[in-house]
Amino acid sequence: MKRSTGFPEDLVHWILSGPHFFVGTPLNKTPRARCTEKGHYDCIDLTNIPETYIPRTNYVPVTDILPNGEEDLGKYYHKIPRVPWKENGESEGKPVTKFFRLANRRMVDPSVERSFISAVFPIGVAHIDSVFSTVFKDSLNLCNFAGASQSIVYDFYLRTTGKSDLRGSTLENFPFIENNQPRLLRFLLLNCITKHYEHLWSKLFSSAFIEDSWTSNNPRLNNYHFKNLSNRWTWETPLRTDFSRRQALIEVDVLVARDLGMTLEELQTIFRIRFPVMKKYEKQTYYDQTGRVVYTISQGLYGVGFPRKGNKQQGTIGWEDICDMSSGTVSRTVIDDTLPGGPVEREIIYYAPFDRCDREADYATAWAEFERRESL
């Protein structure tokens, strides 16, 4: 691999770095065109990307150029590790990049918002050494474990180990939970953001998905999203709004806790005591009526929503100027350089009123609803 920042032409030329992904979000940030510091990344707006989107990469494969001008990836492919199992009379296992894989950030820091940061990536993608990836023989097992790994329950367990480097020796000690259809669906809706996941989606799709529904009756959540699902992936298949993605993670937390025999009070206590940064961010994150974050203090969402204060001399407004709006809209103009083609000016419209969430109360609501469904 070599350092070279730019938009890759295909998945084979995308080499993951840690900031690319977050919990349940394989497309979290993209490096800026000039990326020389760890903060030179911009958040990706999932409601504004094409279905085949690939973010910028800071690293690309080292290749040879053949006499006819074509690129030769032979040496690069030779360096890729192979799985230990063989199929259909193969002389050796396939390269790990021939599989969908679970990737996690290796660095474990219990003092930040989340410690177990993972997502599933499509076939072809590689990564640098600050990322660790795991191949599963069976894609259902992959998604079952990946979905559970995105819960605060697994994150809590990781924090109790005292480990600072998350690799295979630690991952193999986590419990494996058998298939749970509601949890699998929420994982797929979070993770299958682009067309590059269409094979995984269609393979694991179940007709039971369309009978599912949210555990909350918040108007930002549309149950028709479930009813309109099919085994064919489309741009509308995944969850794209900030609010709906948060709700899916809430429900994953509850489902994992229930699968492991925990109580609601234990789940709430884990969040309250062991995730103080996450709790602080939740208290200061506000959503508009379409589910878009309009203001937050989350460091991981730098640049999302309005700043706290505006600048009258520059004619800009801030959160303090709009927080009490009871109706109407307010807009913000941004320079978006997260897509190929160069920076573009884009207007984002927010719909008042704005409010925040209560995670412990949301856990209680989801818990009661899943308990009710299981009793039917």
pLDDT in tens, 232-285: 999 999 999 999 999 999 999 999 999 999 999 999 999 999 999 999 999 999
Confirm whether 152 is domain-assigned.
Answer: yes
Say whether both 306 and 185 belong to one domain. Answer: no
Which pLDDT score, from 0 to 100, does residue 90 have? 84
Confirm whether 275 is domain-assigned.
Answer: no
Name the residue range of residue 71's domain.
2-266
Residues of the chain predicted below pLDDT 50? none
Say whether both 262 and 297 belong to one domain. Answer: no
Say whether both 75 and 214 belong to one domain. Answer: yes
Give the HSE-up count for residue 227: Cα atoms under 13 Å, Cβ half-sphere: 4
Confirm whether 363 is domain-assigned.
Answer: no
Confirm whether 244 is domain-assigned.
Answer: yes
Say whether both 255 and 298 belong to one domain. Answer: no
Is residue 345 within 8 Å of 230, Cβ to Cβ?
A: no
Say whether both 165 and 221 belong to one domain. Answer: yes
Confirm whether 272 is domain-assigned.
Answer: no
Which pLDDT score, from 0 to 100, does residue 129 have? 95
Domain limit, last residue, from 266, 297, 325: 266
CB atoms within 10 A of CB 193: 24
Say whether both 79 and 160 belong to one domain. Answer: yes
Which pLDDT score, from 0 to 100, does residue 313 have? 83
The tens digit of pLDDT for each residue in 177-192 reads 998 999 999 999 999 9
Strands 64-65 and 57-60: unpaired
Going by C-alpha positions, the residue among 348, 317, 120 that lies closest to residue 238 is 120
Going by C-alpha positions, the residue among 133, 209, 206, 125 that lies closest to residue 171 is 133
Say whether both 9 and 137 belong to one domain. Answer: yes
Q: How many domains does the chain have?
A: 2
Angle among Cα 15, 299, 36 to the nearest 5 degrees reads 45
Task: Tell me the pTM.
Answer: 0.95
Say whether both 171 and 295 belong to one domain. Answer: no
Which pLDDT score, from 0 to 100, does residue 280 have? 97
Which pLDDT score, from 0 to 100, does residue 307 have? 95
Going by C-alpha positions, the residue among 146, 170, 169 that lies closest to residue 159 is 170
Confirm whether 14 is domain-assigned.
Answer: yes
Confirm whether 56 is domain-assigned.
Answer: yes
Domain limit, last residue, from 233, 266, 299: 266
Confirm whether 280 is domain-assigned.
Answer: no
Say whether both 37 and 164 belong to one domain. Answer: yes
Say whether both 196 and 290 belong to one domain. Answer: no
Which pLDDT score, from 0 to 100, does residue 367 have? 98
Domain limit, last residue, from 213, 234, 266: 266
Which pLDDT score, from 0 to 100, does residue 89 have? 81
Say whether both 237 and 305 belong to one domain. Answer: no
Say whether both 329 and 219 belong to one domain. Answer: no
